[in-house]
Amino acid sequence: MLRRLLKSSVALGLSKSGMAGFLGSGRNGGDAPLIVGYHRVVQDFDRSATSSIPSMLISARMLEKQLDWLGGHYRLVSLQEMGQRLEEGRTAGTAAVTFDDGYADVYENAFPILARMGIPATIFVVSEMIGTAQSLPHDRLYALLGRALSDAADPAGMLAGLHDACGRRVPDPRVLTRATRTNFTALRLFLDTLPQPAILAVIATLESRFGVPSGDGDRALTWEMIDAMAPSGVSIGSHGRTHALLTHESQERKHDEISGSRRMLETRLKRPVEHLAYPDGRFDSGTLIATAAAGYRFAYTVCGHRDPAFPLLTLPRRILWERAAVDGHGGFSAPVFDCLVGGVFDRLSRCRKTHGPGIDDRPHLRAEWSRTA
C-alpha cells in the first residue's frame, strides 16, 4: 500500500504539472500508436483472482473507468482505421482497444460497456478454442500448479522433476527457488523454457494426479457471441491456433499456428483477417517471417521492441489489468493512468524477452523472406 501511495503521489504531481508527457516515452510511444490490451473481464476481481491469473483480470467497473479516461483524451478508433492511419503516418491523438485470448466474459461483461460507450474493439482469438469447453494451456497449468505447490513437501524438487521429465535441462536452483513462491512464478518457469508439447505433457502429468481443473469462468467465446458483437464494431484478429508461445516452437509449427489460424478464421468469418497478436507478445526472427508469409498486414506485441524490417508486424501495446493504475486504496487513479499510457514508467518495466536482430543480420532467413516479400 505504501508503494501505491508513493506512486500515486508522484503521478499526481507529474500529471498536474504536464510533465508526464515530457518525461515519458510519449503517449503514442514515439512513432507508434497507443493500443491497449486486456484479457478477461469479470464482475468481481477479488473473487476471480482466487482461482485465475490476477494480472489477466479486470473488473467491469475498472474497465469502464479506464475506457472513460481514454475516451476523454483520445479518439478511440478500430484497428482497421488505426492500420490505415499507421500507413499514412497520422496516428496522433488516436487509440485502439484490444482483448487477447477470446474469453467468453469479454462478451458477457465488456461488450455491454463497449456498445453503450460506442467504442470499437478487436478481440484476438485462439481459433481452435472458439466454441469449446477446453481451457487454455496457461489457465490449466496455473490451476494445477497451485494444487501441486500446496501439496508438495519439496516444491523445488517437484518442479525440477516435472521439468526434467520433459527432457530439458533442470533450471538453476535459484530459479527453482523463485518459482516456488506462487503458482504464477511457477507458471512462468514452464512458459519461459518449454515448447507447447512439453507444457501439455506437464499438464497431463499433473491432471493424472490432481484431476482436471474446473475451468470455471475461463470459457472461450462461441461463434454466436462473435456474430452478435460484429454489428457494434467488435472485430476479430488472430492469436494463433492453440496459443503456442511461438519463440519456443519450430519454424514449421510457427507457420502452422500463424497461417492455420488465419485460414480458419477467414473461412468462418467470410472476410479478411489482417491483424495478429503474438501469444504473450513473444516474437523472434522466424515468427516475423511466418507472419509476413501468412499475409498479415499488422501484428502486435506487449512491449516496445520494434523490428526495423517489420515495423508494422511489431506494433507495441500496453497491457492493462485491474491494478495497472490504482491509488493507495486500490481505486482508479487518473494521474497514474496518465503516466502509464504516457510511458513514464517504461524505464522501470523493460521487456527482458529476446526478440532477435533485424532481418539484415539474419542471412539464414533472407531466402525465406525474399519469397514472401
Tens-digit pLDDT profile for residues 123-146 = 999 999 999 998 999 999 999 999
pLDDT band at 348 (very low <50, low <70, confident <90, very high): low
pLDDT of residue 265 exceeding 70: yes
Tens-digit pLDDT profile for residues 295-323 = 999 999 998 888 989 999 999 999 999 99
Q: Which residue's entry shows cell 515530457?
A: 22
Mean of pLDDT values over 32-60: 95
Please name every residue paired with 99 in a beta bridge, in sequence order, or none if there are none.
38, 123
pLDDT band at 63 (very low <50, low <70, confident <90, very high): very high
Q: Determine the Cα–Cα distance for residues 142 and 191; give it in Å rounded to an integer.
A: 11
Q: Determine the Cα–Cα distance for residues 94 and 78; give it in Å rounded to an integer.
A: 10
Domains, the chain, ordered by start: 2-131+224-372 (3.20.20.370), 137-210 (no CATH)
pLDDT of residue 162 exceeding 60: yes
Question: Quick one: pLDDT at residue 29?
Answer: 44
* Joined grid coordinates for residue 303: 512491449
pLDDT band at 360 (very low <50, low <70, confident <90, very high): very low
- Give the Å distances, CA to CA, from 49 to 32, 43, 58: 32, 11, 10
CA angle 208, 209, 211 (to 5 degrees): 70
pLDDT > 70: what percent of the chain?
A: 84
pLDDT of residue 256 exceeding 80: yes
pLDDT band at 344 (very low <50, low <70, confident <90, very high): confident
Mean of pLDDT values over 364-369: 53
pTM (2 d.p.) = 0.91
Question: Quick one: pLDDT at residue 197?
Answer: 95
Question: Quick one: pLDDT at residue 357?
Answer: 54
* Joined grid coordinates for residue 79: 484497428
Question: Quick one: pLDDT at residue 303?
Answer: 86
pLDDT > 90: what percent of the chain?
A: 72
Question: Quick one: pLDDT at residue 31?
Answer: 57
Which residue stretches of the chain are H helix? 2-17, 19-23, 45-48, 60-73, 79-88, 104-105, 111-117, 137-151, 155-165, 173-179, 183-191, 196-210, 223-229, 251-269, 285-294, 334-342, 363-372
* Joined grid coordinates for residue 75: 479518439
Q: Is the dihedral of CA 114, 260, 132, 316 positive or negative?
A: negative
